[in-house]
Structure 1
Amino acid sequence: MNDKWTAEDVPDQQGRVAVVTGANTGIGFEAAKVLAARGASVVLAVRDTDKGKRAANRITAATPGADVTVQHLDLTSLDSVRAAAGELRTRLPRIDLLINNAGVMYTPKGTTRDGFELQLGTNHLGHFALTGLLLDRMLTVEGSRVVTVSSMAHRIQASIDLDDLQWERRPYSRVGAYGQSKLANLEFTYQLQRRMAGKASTIAVAAHPGIASTELIRNSAFVVRTLIKAFNPLISQPADRGALPTLRAATDPGVRGGEYYGPRGFQELKGYPVRVRSSEQSHDPTMQRRLWTASEELTGVTFPI
């Protein structure tokens, strides 16, 4: 496997349709920009459509003639997720790539419009519902992929507390809640792959960016922001480099379902994208099934597999 993979290695994407959540900034924007430059029809699924339109304009300025459109999507609202999925299903007879990228990080305690803990609701449950509602547009599309962006932080939370998913009984930890949501991203990916294996053309893959210089760290503790700023060249990388694991998971012909991609450098902080390992807990099939069942019950979304 190529251990110095870059955006130049993204194959031609002509004729492919990609939906990228949270694509107005950061990792999502950089991934969408490369996919559009390679010829994909890219949908920027974003909460703020004005920012989405400005992002689309930046992409078309860099690649004149690029096919980029904007779709409103607020992952903190299941009504919005259902509305967005309905509009996308009307517009798109097929979807080749669904990149579940949008997220929040280390936010103060809060809830989504449906009463879910904010980080779990946004990072996992919103994407779970969106994927379930769009999957039938992918299952028969050869080479289609669901790519979900996780984080090294999935190791912070050793397990998912299914008896207190919403952090209603425990003292709230913004770091722990973020770690739980990122562990959920991986367990969702692996269980989705188990359910599709041998039954569909679609595969499920995960990725993480290492530490990338994006807006996502704005809710981090002051000391964390200070350290990242002070040691930025040593421990982090620009957003376009942080997007490479996502792009490789989405486009490299050698990728297989159930794999996980991240930077190959020290502690996976930065570097070229390679296949990496996630925590032992993330591979527990019993926990994956239990989380899946809980997610179906909470969102009211079941999958066509």
Structure 2
Amino acid sequence: MGARASFPMVTLTKNRIIVVTGANTGIGYEIAKHCAFMGATVILACRSEARARNAMERMQQEYESEVITAHGENNRLAIEFMHVDLSSFKSVVTFCDEFKKTGRQLHVLFCNAGLGMAPYSVTVDGLELILQANYLGHFLMIAKLLDVMKRSGPDCRILLTASSAHSAARRIDISTMNFTGNERDYSQIVYYGRSKAYQIMQAITMTSRLKGSNISVNSFHPGLVATEFGRYINNSCLKCCVKCICGCGCARTPIQGATCGIDLAVNPDYSGVSGHYWIDCRITEPKSCVRNEETQIAVWRESFKFLKDYLTEDEINAMEGK
């Protein structure tokens, strides 16, 4: 058996700005917490302000008990809340505009928030919920903030929380990327898997377009983690399976699930390493359904079509590496 995956405890400065979506719970919480423990300024980009502020209080308490007690330090964490609802393109645009107004740089954009296998639902933008909340909302955020990252100095990183569930995508059909069929034909597993497949493909496609830039893009699989992942599942058999796995101790803890993500966010050895899919802090080959270059390009182009009303020509050109 190999050594357990881990991340280095490096020293970050408050000038190192990290945005983590969905940072109020689960692996997002652990990613944000440990990056802040190392000294970075971390912005918790969440939908619920109340939950985010409760998470920030908990982080500070844990910092005081785990770090200050051990090392005698007496600093407050540099953690902040900013509102964003990834199921609303308008909300994502507002978030990006508000961030730009601060004049800050952006060094790590951690696209972590997302829904698990949820029943079919349509967003305010008329799109299938999982597609927008897990993939397109983050795609728009990346496009809107890419120019800021390009001007933020060396070693900027975009990280995407994907999943081995991308294997459920099987054959990816662009014409059904946004589900519009009969609700009875909607598969939670397939469309969740597709959303994660799109993220893995995005990391690969963006890397080829940003070659030679200061920005790296990677995706990772956290494993099956005992979090709120299954709270929206309405399939009784599937829900029972998830509960059994979590209940018998087979699922990972949030920090175990977050370890690879934290490593990708802070490890200096990964500067410039881009376009990969990671599991347990190791580069791993994703399933064949996401490795086809024609499919990658088709998904990439289709993604822009969904967002055409929200992206400027300059933002599109930046994403294309022009």
TM-score (norm 1): 0.91
Determine the structure 1 residue equivalent to 2:96.
85
The aligned length equals 291
Q: Which moved more, 1:60-69 or 1:107-116?
A: 60-69
Rg larger for? 2
Query: Does 1:212 pair with 2:225?
Result: yes
Contact persistence 1:249–1:261 (CA under 8 A): no
Counterpart for residue 195 of structure 1:
209
1:228 aligned partner: 245
Counterpart code for 2:206: L
User: Would you say the 8 A contact 1:82–1:133 is kept in 2?
Assistant: yes
Q: CA separation of 1:229/1:46 partners in 2, compared to 1, >3 Å: closer, same or farther? A: same
Q: Shift of the alpha carbon at 1:5?
A: 4.1
The aligned counterpart of 1:269 is: none
Q: Is the 8 A contact 1:81 1:129 kept in 2?
A: yes
1:217 partner amino acid: G
**Counterpart in 2 of 1:22?**
22
2:84 paired with 1:73:
yes
| Counterpart amino acid of residue 228 in structure 2 | E
Aligned Cα RMSD in Å?
1.6
Q: How many Å separate the matches in 2 of 1:20 and 1:68?
A: 11
Work out the CA distance in 2 between the residues paired with 1:277 and 1:80. 34
Aligned residues of 1:17 and 1:96 also touching (Cα < 8 A): yes
- CA distance in 1: counterparts of 2:148 and 2:293, whole angstroms: 26
Q: Offset at 1:169? A: 3.3
2:123 to 93, 112, 119: 112
**1:158 — aligned with what?**
170
Amino acid at match of 1:91: T
Quick one: distance in 2 between partners of 1:192 and 1:152? Answer: 20
Structure 1: which amino acid aligns with 2:12? Q
Q: Is the 8 A contact 1:143 1:202 kept in 2?
A: yes
| Identical counterparts, % of pairs | 27
What SS class does the counterpart of residue 156 from structure 1 fall into?
Answer: helix
- The whole-number CA distance in structure 2 between the counterparts of 1:303 and 1:122 is 24
**TM-score, with structure 2 as normaliser:** 0.86
Q: Deviations over 1:111-136 (max 9, x none)?
A: 11111111111100000000000011
Change (3 A) 1:44 1:92: farther
Letter in structure 2 aligned against 1:225: V
**Aligned in 2, Cα 1:3/1:131: closer, same or farther, shift over 3 Å?**
farther
1:286 aligns with 2:294: yes
Q: Distance in 2 between matches of 1:55 and 1:191?
A: 34
Q: Does 1:143 align with 2:158?
A: no
